[in-house]
Amino acid sequence: MMKTESETLTMDIQEIIQEENLVYKKTSCMTDNILSFCPGCGHGVIHRLTMEVIDEMGIQSETIGIASVGCSVLAYDFMDIDMTQSAHGRAPAVATGIKRCWPDKYVFTYQGDGDLAAIGTAETIHACNRGENITIIFVNNGIYGMTGGQMAPTTLEGMKSSTTPYGRDIGLMGNPIKISELVSQLPGTYYVTRQAVHSPSHVRKAKKAMRKAFESQKEKKGSSLIEFVSNCNSGWKMTPVQANKWLEENMLPFYPLGDLKVDGKLIT
């Protein structure tokens, strides 16, 4: 019987793994629940990176995560650590309270752009300005994902959404906001970076950034924010492959990847 192209590819991958003696296994900091995100979404990869870093640092029992509202709220189904939920946009405020009560714990927020950059703008700005010793994980896919693909503060000019079917009009709706550039200017931020997870090379860079953010918290240096430019193929009405290409061609020119602030110093 002839093997299908998919079966042949699977066998090739298995042979490569055996030849290179590679071992792939799920980090113990992830639960056994099956990820319920849309196929092609970046949330699952970002979840895994976060939990791998926590696992490798040996801080699973010392970490507390705050999930807010949106697709980010599902994090506590998959992250096997102490988790709590905040009201929409209020994760940095909740994280502030938790960190001040337990200053030796590792505390992070997990938020989307509709949450962090819209209703939660004040909490984000003021927590970073105070230099709260927390890590903020910010997933930017340019729309409100869970609630139906509406325009978010990060929606690009001309980008279509369920509430901007003809594209975002700057004259009517204002400019998209660059949160990372904004918070990098605040004296309380120690590490601010923008990453992506749509390719293996980007995933490797993103994991290093995640590690640095948690290590900075260990050293009590102030606020760290990691922005992940991601896709939302369901909200964008694209296949995963099309969404990744659109991200490369449209999102990344406006939201360029890389470090904006390292060790408390702006990158020029």
- Say if residues 139 and 230 touch (Cβ distance below 8 Å): yes
What percent of the chain clears pLDDT 90, i.e. is strictly above it?
Answer: 82
Give the closest residue to 176 by CA, choosing from 201, 190, 194, 157.
157
Pairing of strands 265-266, 258-262: antiparallel
Q: List, in order of start, the domains of the chain with CATH numbers.
A: 37-266 (3.40.50.970)
Angle at 202 between CA 49 and CA 82, to 5 degrees: 15
Pairing of strands 189-196, 258-262: antiparallel
Q: Which of 65-74, 128-137, 186-195 has the lowest mean pLDDT?
A: 65-74
Kindly state the DSSP code that residue 86 receives in the 8-state scheme. Answer: -
- Say if residues 137 and 46 touch (Cβ distance below 8 Å): yes
Task: Look at residue 6 in the predicted model and tell me its pLDDT.
Answer: 53
Rounded Cα distance, 163 and 165, in Å:
6
Does the model's pTM come out above 0.85? yes
Task: Give the mean model confidence (pLDDT) for residues 55-79.
Answer: 94
